[in-house]
A and B are shown apart, each in its own frame.
Chain A
Amino acid sequence: EAGVAQSPRYKIIEKRQSVAFWCNPISGHATLYWYQQILGQGPKLLIQFQNNGVVDDSQLPKDRFSAERLKGVDSTLKIQPAKLEDSAVYLCASSLGQGSEKLFFGSGTQLSVL
Chain B
Amino acid sequence: KQEVTQIPAALSVPEGENLVLNCSFTDSAIYNLQWFRQDPGKGLTSLLLIQSSQREQTSGRLNASLDKSSGRSTLYIAASQPGDSATYLCAVRLNTGKLIFGQGTTLQVKP
Instruction: Report which A residues bind B (CB closer than 8 A).
Output: 4, 31, 33, 40-45, 48, 55-56, 91, 93, 98-100, 102-108, 110
- Which residues of chain A have C-beta atoms less than 8 A from B42's C-beta? 107-108
Residues of B participating in the A interface, judged by any CB pair closer than 8 Å: 4, 6, 31-32, 34, 36, 41-46, 49, 51, 89, 91, 93, 96-104
The dominant DSSP class at the B interface is: strand
A56 and B44 contact, CB distance less than 8 A = no
- Most chain-A Cβ atoms within 10 A of its Cβ — which of B43, B51, B93, B102? B43
The minimal Cβ–Cβ distance linking A110 to chain B, given in whole angstroms, is 7
Chain B contacts for A4, CB-based, 8 A: 43
Assembled-state Cα–Cα distance A105/B89 (Å) = 13
Q: Which residues of B contact A98 (CB under 8 A)?
A: 96-97
A91 and B91 CA atoms in complex are apart in Å by 15
Q: How distant is the Cα of A4 from the Cα of B31 in the complex, in angstroms?
A: 24
With a cutoff of 8 Å between Cβ atoms, the chain B residues found around residue A42 in the complex are 4, 6, 89, 91, 101-104
Pick the residue among A31, A40, A45, A91 that contacts B44 (CB under 8 A). A91
